[in-house]
Structure 1
Amino acid sequence: MRLITFLYITNFFTGAIIMVVELLGTRLMAPCFGTGLYVWTALITVTLVSLAIGYRTGGWLADRFPRADLLYGLIFGAGVLLLLILLLRRPVLLWGVRFNLAWGALATATILFGPPLFLLGTVAPYSVKLCAAEFGRLGSVVGRLYAISTLGSFVGTVGAGFLFLPNFSNVTTLVMCAAALAVLAALYFGFFRTRVLPVCGAAIVLGIAIFIAWRSAGALPRGTLTTLVEWRTLEQRNGFYGTISVVDLGTPVNEQWHRRFLLNDGLTQGSYEPARRIPAAVFPYALCDLVLAHAPRLERVLVLGLGAGFVPAMLKPLIARPDDDPARTRANFVVVEINPAMVDIAARWFDFPPEEFTIVIEDARTWVSTYRVGPDAPPFDAIIVDTFLGDNTPGHLLTHEMFAELKRILAPGGALAMNVFGSIRGPRSRLLAALVRTLGEPRGGPPLFPHVQVFSQEATAIAHNVYLLASGDPGARRPDGILRIVVPHLDAHDPADDFHKEAMRSLRDQTSLLAGVPDAPVLTDDYAVADHLDIAVKEEIRRNIVKSWGEMLLE
C-alpha cells in the first residue's frame, strides 16, 4: 500500500471520529448538564474552535516538519487523550456543574474534548502537505482529501446516531474511537517505518482500550448513596433519547423501605413502591385528580408521554366499567411515547400492562397533527401531556400551534392537563407564565382555552412539579372527592401514605400568582424559546441531581 492511499484512509477515519466524539460529548455531559440547547451549543463551539486551531497548527507543523512520523504521533496522542477523558470526566463534570449552565457546559466541554479535537484537526492540513509533495497537484489533492474526510464525517455521524450510541455504552464508544486511532498509528509505524517502539506503544493503548471496554460491559453498577441508603442498577440502556436507568434504593435499617426509580440521563421520571405496586411520587395522583374532577364526561383519553406508565395505569381502572369490552377500552385509551424502550422498561420494572392500551411510538406533535377526527376516530374527552424531561424542555410541544392541534382533537367540554417542572414565584416563573398566556391567547380568534388554571403544592420560587389545566369552562369538581377517586390503594393507617394524602390536599390554584409576571411571551413555532425561559430552573435541577444522587450518576 502506498503512503498516499493510507493517508486517504486516515482522513476518512479521523473525519468519522471527530463527529462521533462531538455527538458522544453530549451523552458524557448529560448527567450534570442535560442534553439541551446549551450543551449542544457548547459542544459545537468547542469542536469548531478546536478544529480551527488544529488546522492552523497542523499547517504550521507540516511546513516545518514535513514527515508522516509526526502526523501519526499526533494521531496516537489524540487516542491517548480520548482515553484520558474517562479519568477526567468525573472531577471535571462535578467542578463544572458549580457554574451556570451555559458557562459550565462550555468550560467542561473545552477541558474534556478540546485537546483531542485539536490534535485531530491537525490531520487534514498535514495530509495536504504530504500528498502535495508527492503529486504536486495541490487543487486535486485538497479536494480529494476534504471529500474523503467529509465522507468519513458523514459515516461517523450516521454511525454514532443510529448504531453506536443506541447500542453501545458511552464508554465503549469512546474506547472504540481511541482504539481506532491507536490502530492507525500502529499500522503506519509497522508497515511504513518498521519501528518496534511506536508499534508497542500503540499496542499497549489498544490493549488498555479493549480492557476498559470489557470492564464497562460487565455487571451493572451498585453502591452506597449515603450511609443508610444502598442502591443498585437493575437495567441500563443507551438509546436515541438518552441513557435510561432503573435503580433500586433500599436501606438495611428498614427492610420494608424500598423504592425503584426510573432515570433518564440522571433525571427522575418516576418513583415506585414495588411491594405495594403504587407510585411513590405525587404527580400521577395530581394529573388523575385534575382530569377526573374537571372532565364532565370521561371515556376517551389521550396520554402524551408514557414514562414509567403510572398515569395511564392508574387512570384506566377508575374510568373503565367492569362490563366494558376490553378491545373497546383499549381503543379508547391511547398513549403516545417517542421512546420505544420506555414501553418495555415500564412493563418489566413498573408493572405497566401495555396490552391494555393503544400504544403509539411516535413524536407527540407528529401524531397529534396527523390525527383526523371523524366517525372512526372520535375526539378525546381528556388529554394529559406528561412529556417534560426535567431540564429538557420539549419546545415544539409547548407552542400556540401545538395547543391549537390539541384543542382540535379535544371533545367539547374536555380538559387538557399538563405536568410541568417550574417555579411559581420570581424570575424563574417566566416559562409557566408564558404557557398560561399561550394557552389562552386568541391569535386572531377566540381564546384557545378560555379557562387556564395552575395548580401546585407550594407557591415558592423553588422548582417543583406544577400542573396546568386548560378547559372550555371551569366546571365543578366531582363530589366524590379526590381521596376516594384517585387513591383507592392507600391504607389510611399507613404513615407512608399520609404523604400522598397531604400532598393531594395541599394542591392549590396558584394561577393568580402568574398574572403579573413581566415579559411572558406567547410561544409559537417561530418563537419557541421555552429552553431559554427556564434556564435558571434547569441549572437548579442539575445541581440538585448531583447533590441528591452524588457520583452514582457518573458510574
Structure 2
Amino acid sequence: MVKNRKYLFLSVFLCGMTVLAVEFTASRMLQTVYGTSNIVWANVIGLTLLFLTMGYFIGGWLADRYPRPLLFYGLITAAGFSSIFFLLLTSLILRTTTLTLTQFNAGAIIGSFAGVFMAIAVPVTLLGCISPFAIRLGVPDVEHAGRISGRIYAISTWGSLLGTYLPVLWIIPVAGSRITAVIFGAVLLVVGLIGIWQEAESVRPKAAAAVACLLLIPFVVAWTPGGIKQTPGQVFETESPYNYIEVIKNRSCYYLFLNEGAAIHSFYCDDGSLPPQTSVYRTLTIAPLFAHPEDFQNHPVQNVAIVGLGAGTIAKLMTRVYGEMRFDGIELDPKIVDVGRKYFDMNEPELNVHVGDGRYKLNKLAGGYDVVVIDAYKPPYIPWHLTTVEYFEEVKSKLNESGSIAINVYRPGRDRRLVNAMVATLMRVFPSIYTIDARGDNTIIVATVKPTRHENVQQNFDALVTDDTEIIPSAMEVFHAGLKPLEPSDVIFTDQVAPVEPLIDSMVLRQLRL
C-alpha cells in the first residue's frame, strides 16, 4: 500500500495528461516532414494504442509480482526521462535530415511509422503501466476494487482531457514542440521523484533517481535550442495551433510553406516577378473570364471572396490583372495572417481578412461576389466539408447571377478520381463546369452560375483591358493546354456521406506504388 493515496491519484492524473501530450507533441514534430495526412495520424494513433496496450499488460504483471510503491514511482520517473529523451532525439533527427527524409519514397507511411515508433514507444509503454499498477496499490480489499479502479480510470481520463487541449492550444504555439516535450517530461520527473522520496526507506534509491534526472540535462541543453527545420533560405518559422509555418526567401521572392513543405501556399516577389512553380495561382485568376462576354463587359470584377487566403497571393494577382477591387479573405490560421502582413505585403486597404473556418465564415458574409476562390487544402487533403453539394449550394447563394467559383483540387499524375468526384458533385449545383490541369499535381475546376461555354474565356481575354502582360497570358497558355473534357464519377460528396479522405488516401498509396 502507498503511504499517500491522494498523491497516488494525483500521479495517475498527471500521467494520463502526459500520454496525450506526448502523442500530440510527437505528431507536431512529424508534421514538419510528413504533414498531417490520415496516413500519418493513423500511425500516431495506432502506435499509441499499441504501446498503451503493451503497457497495460506489463503494468499488471509487474503490479502482481512486485506490488511496491517505489517501483510504481520509478516507472513514472522513467517515463518522464524517456519522454524528454526520445522526443528530443526524434526532433533532432527530423531537423538534421529534413531534406533527405522528404525525398525518401513512401516516406509518409514508412518514415512517419519509424518516427512515431522512436518518439513514443518507450514513454507511452511506461505510461500504460501506471493505471493497472495504481489499481493494485490503491485497492485495500476486494470489496472496494470496483470503486477504486473506476476512480483511477476516471482520474486518468480527466488528465488525458487536459493533455488533449493544453499542448495543442497553448504550450506548443507559445513554446514550441521541443519545450513542450521538456515541460511534460519534467512534470513526470518531479512526480516520480517526490513519490520516491516519500516511499523510499534508504538514501540509495533517492540518490539514484536524482542522478538519473541530472544525466538528462546535457541532452536537454544540447537538443532543445535551434530552429525546427534547417531549410536553406529560411527567414522565419513558427508553430501555431494549426500548422508549422515556414517562410523561405530565394532572391527577391518569399515563399510560404506549411507543415511538410509539399506545396507553396503563397508567394510574393519584391520585383513583381512570377516564379515558374506558381502556375496554380496564375490559373486561378482566369475564373472571371468564364462569364458571358456581355456580363464581363458590363459588370467588371469588383467583389471576390477567397476561402483559404494564405498570405494573400491570389488577391494580389487578381488586382494586377483586373484593377482595384474588394476582397473578403477567409483564413483559418491567425499566425498565417500575421506572416502575410509581415513578409508578403498583405496590406491592401480593400482586403478584409476574416479569421475562421472557410464554411462558417463564408455563411456569415453578405455575398454578392463575382468570384469565390477555394484554395483551402493541406496537400493532398481538402477539408471534406468544403467539397459537398450542400456547401456548394451555400457558395452559389453568395455569388451574383454572372458569378463563378474556382477550386484548386489535388490530381497526382493521371489519377483524376478526386477531380471527377468534385465535378460530379458540382454538377448537382452549377450548370457549367470546366477542368484545367495546371502544372504539377493540381487541377483547377471552374463552375459558373449561368450556363456558359469555354469559348467565352478567349473572347473575354481578347476584350480585357489590363496593364498586366505576364499573369493572364501565362494563365491562358495553361488554360488552352490543360482544358480537359469532363468525366464525372459516380461519387457525389454530401454532408451525409463524403468519403474524401479515403479517396485521397488510395490516390496517395497508388502514387507511392508507381
CA distance in 1, matches of 2:137, 2:186: 24
Of residues 421, 426, 429, the one that matches 1:434 is 421
Letter of the structure 1 residue corresponding to residue 148 of structure 2: V
Match of 1:521 among 487, 491, 495: 491
- State the match for 2:46 in structure 1: 45
Matched, 1:5 2:12: no
**Amino acid paired to 2:393:** A
- The offset of 1:513, in angstroms, is 4.9
- Provide the residue aligned with 2:32 in structure 1: 31
Shift in alpha-carbon separation, 1:173–1:344, aligned structure 2, 3 A: same
Which of the numbers 49, 71, 87 marks the counterpart of 2:89?
A: 87
* Counterpart residue number, 1:274: 269
Alignment of 1:347 onto 2:341: yes
Contact 2:287 2:371 in 1 (8 A): no
Q: In structure 2, what is the equivalent of residue 314 of structure 1?
A: 317
1:289 is the counterpart of 2:291: no
Q: How does 1:61-100 map to 2 (within 5 A)?
A: 61-82=62-83, 83-88=85-90, 90=93, 94=101, 98-99=105-106
Q: 2:136 corresponds to which residue?
A: 129
Instruction: State the alpha-carbon separation in 1 of the partners of residues 486 and 107 from structure 2.
Output: 25
Instruction: Specify whether residues 165 and 541 from structure 1 end up closer, same or farther in structure 2 by C-alpha distance, changes over 3 A only.
Output: farther
Residue 503 of structure 1: CA displacement? 6.3
Q: 3-state SS of the aligned residue for 2:286? A: helix
Alpha carbons 2:436, 2:478 under 8 Å: kept: no
Q: Secondary structure at the residue paired with 2:139?
A: helix
Secondary structure in structure 2 of the residue aligned to 1:477: helix
Matching of residue 211 in structure 1 with residue 221 in structure 2: yes
Alpha-carbon contact 1:175-1:213 (below 8 Å) kept: no
Flag structure 2 segments of 5+ consecutive residues without an equivalent. Answer: none
Other structure's SS at 1:235 match = strand
One-letter identity of the residue aligned with 2:134: S
Cα displacement string for residues 406-464 of structure 1 (whole angstroms, at most 9, x for unaligned residues): 11111112111112231462xx21000101111003xxxxxx11111101246xxxx52
Q: Tell me the distance in 2 between the aligned counterparts of 1:408 and 1:67.
A: 67
Question: Hey, what does 1:200 align to over in structure 2?
Answer: 210
Residue number among 95, 98, 118 corresponding to 2:125 in the alignment: 118
TM-superposition CA deviations, 1:477-513 (whole Å, max 9, x none)? 26474898678275xxxxxx9xx95565233375645
1:170 partnered with 2:177: yes
> How far apart, CA to CA, are the structure 2 residues paired with 1:543 and 1:95?
17
Cα distance change of structure 1 residues 220 and 530 upon mapping to structure 2, 3 Å threshold: closer
CA distance in structure 2 between the partners assigned to 1:54 and 1:96 by the alignment: 35
Cα shift at 1:258: 4.4
1:266 to partner: Cα distance = 2.4
CA RMSD of aligned residues (A): 3.3
Unaligned runs of 5+ in 1: 224-230, 250-256, 322-328, 372-376, 442-447, 491-496, 545-555
SS in 2 for 1:454: strand
C-alpha change, 1:539 and 1:311, in structure 2 (3 Å) is farther
Which residue is 1:474 aligned to? 452
Does residue 451 of structure 1 match 2:432?
yes
- Label 1:320 to 1:248 Cα distance change in 2 as closer, same or farther (>3 A): closer
TM-score (norm 1): 0.79
CA distance in 2, matches of 1:487, 1:421: 32
| Letter of the 1:533 counterpart | L
Structure 2 residue aligned with 1:394: 383
Q: Name the counterpart of 1:374.
A: none
The separation in 2 between residues aligned to 1:486 and 1:12, in whole angstroms, is 64
Pair 1:334–1:164, CA change in 2 (3 A):
same
- Structure 2 distance, partners of 1:415, 1:184, is 60
Letter in 1 for 2:285: C
Percent identity, aligned pairs only, is 25
Q: Is the 8 A contact 1:166 1:239 kept in 2?
A: yes
Aligned-partner residue type, residue 145 of structure 2 = L
What's the offset of the Cα at 1:206? Answer: 5.2
- 1:403 is displaced (CA, Å) by 0.9
Q: Which runs of 4+ in 1 moved over 6 A?
A: 482-487, 540-544
Name the SS for the 1:521 alignment partner: coil
**Contact persistence 1:96–1:105 (CA under 8 A):** no
